[in-house]
């Protein structure tokens, strides 16, 4: 099968977030809270204002439920009305929660200078992201001296299933940790799952040989990216990618130089923690 149909499908579907089902048998799980948070997750740097009909489509929730959730979030200040357009946007309390989360990620501050150095060296964008359900959420992004690749920034979400950074995350998981995520992907993907699973399997095989994954135009036509998993000091798992425009000898540069350089930075962060920023 040619790559072009895969690129078109991936680009078309990436605009709508994939929704994982709510836990059904957890008696401690508060469904109302989960649904309220799913409303907030609809807002992205690309979707800053939404109407309730749009939110209902994105979440899969009934319109009356969305009305009640939005009313509650408006009362609490987590949403703000945009009356002239009959839409809502996120309020300041959401921003404060985001900064509180980032403040605990010391390793991101440690990695930032070397991420910028790699971005400058390869005229690329370098980012760190963590998984949330079936998406990777950017925690930090550094842009090199090049044409802007994509309008992504801290807080942006990209799909787990077709991105280098998502594949790198999956590659670091044990099989029993990875399988439930793949099952959720399969349920959402439907008929396209066989194609997506082949791409993921190929990425995992490549990771086994090289210690990083490569994505050539699958997530976004014309862009090539390499990515590695990172186990930051203090535990957990995130992933880091380096992406640039694909032209000429870019693929050989990415596999021969950029991928190993990214892998080296991940190793420094994992081995040295706060002292990694001083490594030569």
> Can you give the CATH number for the domain in which 119 is found?
3.30.450.40
Per-residue pLDDT at 266 = 94
Return the bridge partners of 135, or none: 132, 159
Last residue of a domain, one of 75, 97, 119: 97
2 pLDDT more than 80: no
Q: Does 146 lie in the same domain as 113?
A: yes
Handedness of CA 250, 256, 261, 262 (dihedral sign): positive
Q: Does 242 lie in the same domain as 208?
A: yes
Q: Where are the beta strands (DSSP E) in 147-204?
A: 157-159
Q: Does 191 lie in the same domain as 161?
A: yes
Token pair in block for residue 275: 């002292």
Q: Does 36 lie in the same domain as 131?
A: no
Instruction: Kindly report the backbone phi and psi dihedral angles of residue 26, in degrees, each rounded to the nearest multiple of 5, phi listed first.
Output: -90, 110
CB 144 within 8 A of CB 125: yes
Per-residue pLDDT at 234 = 76
Residue 183's pLDDT band, with cuts at 50, 70 and 90, is very high
Instruction: Kindly report the backbone phi and psi dihedral angles of residue 145, in degrees, each rounded to the nearest multiple of 5, phi listed first.
Output: -80, 75
Q: Does 157 lie in the same domain as 85?
A: no
Buried b (16+ CB within 10 A) or exposed e, 196-206: beebbeebbeb
Q: Does 113 lie in the same domain as 251?
A: yes
> What's the domain range around 79?
27-97
Last residue of a domain, one of 52, 72, 97: 97
* pLDDT tens digits along 71-126: 999 999 999 999 888 999 998 888 677 666 655 567 787 788 999 999 999 999 99
On whether residue 187 sits in a domain, the answer given is yes
Q: What is the CATH number of the domain that holds 62?
A: 1.10.10.10
CA distances from 22 to 16, 35, 50, 187, 195 (A): 18, 9, 23, 13, 26
Per-residue pLDDT at 11 = 35
On whether residue 56 sits in a domain, the answer given is yes
On whether residue 90 sits in a domain, the answer given is yes
Q: Coil, helix or strand for 219?
A: coil
Q: Does 196 lie in the same domain as 213?
A: yes
Global model pTM greater than 0.75:
no
Q: What is the DSSP-derived secondary structure letter of residue 20?
A: P
Q: Does 54 lie in the same domain as 135?
A: no
On whether residue 13 sits in a domain, the answer given is no
CB 188 within 8 A of CB 197: no
Handedness of CA 275, 257, 230, 209 (dihedral sign): negative
Q: Does 123 lie in the same domain as 88?
A: no
Counting the structural domains of the chain, the total is 2
Per-residue pLDDT at 99 = 65
How many other CB atoms sit within 10 Å of the CB of residue 155? 16
Per-residue pLDDT at 126 = 96
On whether residue 164 sits in a domain, the answer given is yes
Task: Give 163 or 112, the one with higher predicted confidence.
Answer: 163
* pLDDT tens digits along 199-253: 999 999 999 999 999 999 998 889 999 999 999 877 889 999 999 999 878 999 9
Handedness of CA 3, 20, 137, 76 (dihedral sign): positive
Q: What is the DSSP-derived secondary structure letter of residue 83?
A: G
Share of the chain above pLDDT 70, in %: 83
Q: Does 119 lie in the same domain as 93?
A: no
Distance CA(123)–CA(211), nearest Å, equals 22
CB 265 within 8 A of CB 115: yes
CA distances from 47 to 13, 31, 40 (A): 15, 24, 11
Per-residue pLDDT at 22 = 52
On whether residue 6 sits in a domain, the answer given is no
Query: Quick one: average pLDDT of 170-194?
Result: 95
Q: Does 75 lie in the same domain as 111?
A: no
Q: What crossing angle do the helices spanning 63-76 and 52-59 adopt, rounded to 10°?
A: 110
Last residue of a domain, one of 97, 119, 143: 97
* pLDDT tens digits along 11-65: 334 444 444 445 556 788 999 999 999 999 899 877 889 999 999 999 999 999 9
On whether residue 9 sits in a domain, the answer given is no
């Amino acid at each position: 099968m040619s790559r072009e149909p895969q690129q078109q499908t991936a680009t078309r579907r990436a605009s709508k977030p994939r929704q994982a089902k709510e836990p059904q048998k957890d008696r401690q799980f508060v469904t109302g809270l989960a649904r309220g948070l799913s409303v907030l997750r609809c807002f992205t740097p690309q979707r800053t204002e939404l109407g309730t009909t749009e939110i209902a489509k994105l979440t899969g929730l009934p319109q009356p439920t969305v009305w009640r959730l939005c009313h509650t979030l408006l009362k609490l200040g987590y949403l703000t009305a945009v009356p002239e357009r009959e839409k809502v946007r996120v309020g300041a309390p959401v921003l404060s929660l985001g900064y509180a989360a980032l403040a605990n990620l010391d390793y991101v501050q440690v990695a930032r200078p070397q991420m910028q150095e790699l971005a400058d060296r390869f005229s690329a964008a370098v980012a760190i992201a963590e998984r949330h359900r079936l998406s990777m959420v950017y925690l930090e992004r550094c842009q090199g001296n090049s044409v802007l690749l994509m309008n992504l920034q801290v807080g942006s979400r990209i799909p787990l299933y077709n991105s280098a950074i998502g594949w790198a995350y999956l590659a670091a998981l044990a099989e029993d940790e990875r399988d439930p995520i793949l099952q959720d992907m399969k349920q959402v993907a439907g008929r396209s799952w066989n194609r997506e699973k082949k791409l993921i399997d190929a990425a995992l095989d490549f990771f086994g040989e090289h210690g990083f994954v490569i994505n050539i135009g699958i997530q976004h036509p014309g862009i090539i990216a390499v990515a590695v998993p990172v186990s930051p000091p203090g535990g957990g798992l995130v992933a880091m990618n380096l992406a640039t425009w694909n032209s000429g000898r870019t693929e050989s540069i990415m596999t021969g130089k950029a991928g190993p350089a990214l892998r080296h930075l991940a190793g420094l962060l994992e081995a040295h923690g706060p002292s990694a920023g001083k490594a030569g």
